[in-house]
Amino acid sequence: MICVQTTWAQHDAQFSQYFNAMGYYNPAYAGNTEDLRFFGLYRQQWVGIDRAPQSIFAMVDMPFKIGNTNHGVGAVMLSETIGLFTFTHVSGQYAFKKKLWGGELSIGIQAGIANIAFQGDSVRLLTMDGFSSGMLDEAIPLTQVDGMVMDMNAGIFYTHPKFYAGFGVTHLMEPEIQFDENASYYIGRALNFTAGYNIQTRNPLYELQPSVFLKTDMNSFQADLTARVIYNKMFNGGVSWRVNESVVFLLGASIGRFQVGYAYDFPYSPILKGSSGSHELMVRFNIKLKKTQTGNNRHKSVRIL
């Protein structure tokens, strides 16, 4: 006889292109360039498995100044379906920035709402004769239920021309949604760490960018180790190893203000028996906020012509 009162699992979405989607995990990432950025990412996980996770993440962020101080703001949205669950997160971000040791230290906070819905009317119980709509477990709702709570993240992020590093905490208040008298959903606090380095090779056209991403909720742990090559600051490719889970192949390109990226996860865990892998597509568009003066655009005051 087995009795389970409570179970835990990581709530945060999984992105293979974490180095581009860091704004999801760490609000201090907001406004860390001089551009207004629009970012979108779609992930289809475990192709071939019914009701496998699908994630859509969108973000817009920009820097701004107040006097001599630097700041960043952003807005993020996540929509994800996993099985009979639908998760929606909408939040705003703020980051304070300080020049330090030849780079920039950023401290950020994020606040918003999380909505979780469960399609209880689609629950089916496997019996000897097939599937039945009846359930014996009172902890599983048999109707569509949802709930909404406030959620907060925080983090620090340091950027330097040669490297970057960041530490974030998601779901600071560990909110819990009560669907009904017997069913609830708990969002546990999670920690994440990332770091990367820019290595300029002897050939100025090639640049190496190794990076690492770690996340844990103190019950489970995940690590991504990545190596990418950048060619002429336009094209990039690489490979990532998600420990004990999959090998990820990465491709990307930067053309003008646009950046696109693709990731394919090939699983080597037992999930390979039911899935051909996962796909992820990313797009970003930058708008320069500071106009660079050139000889054609430089003007003198009419008072001193």
CA dist., res. 136 & res. 122, Å (int): 15
CA dist., res. 286 & res. 197, Å (int): 23
CB 124 within 8 A of CB 137: no
Give the length of the chain. 305
pLDDT of residue 2: 47
- Domain boundary assignment for the chain: 22-289
pLDDT of residue 10: 62
| Alpha carbon 18 to chain centroid, angstroms | 6
Its pTM stands at 0.87
CA dist., res. 159 & res. 155, Å (int): 13
Q: Which residues of the chain have pLDDT under 50?
A: 1-8, 295, 297, 299, 301-302, 304-305
pLDDT of residue 143: 82
pLDDT of residue 305: 47
pLDDT of residue 6: 47
pLDDT of residue 122: 82
| Alpha carbon 241 to chain centroid, angstroms | 17
Superfamily (CATH) of domain 22-289? monomeric porin ompg (2.40.160.40)
CB 229 within 8 A of CB 235: no
Strands (E), the chain: 35-44, 54-66, 69-82, 85-100, 103-119, 125-127, 130-132, 144-159, 163-170, 176-178, 184-186, 190-197, 199-200, 206-216, 221-231, 235-242, 246-255, 258-267, 278-288
Ramachandran assignment for 258, one of left (phi > 0), alpha (psi -120 to 50 degrees), beta (any other): beta
pLDDT of residue 131: 58
pLDDT of residue 120: 82
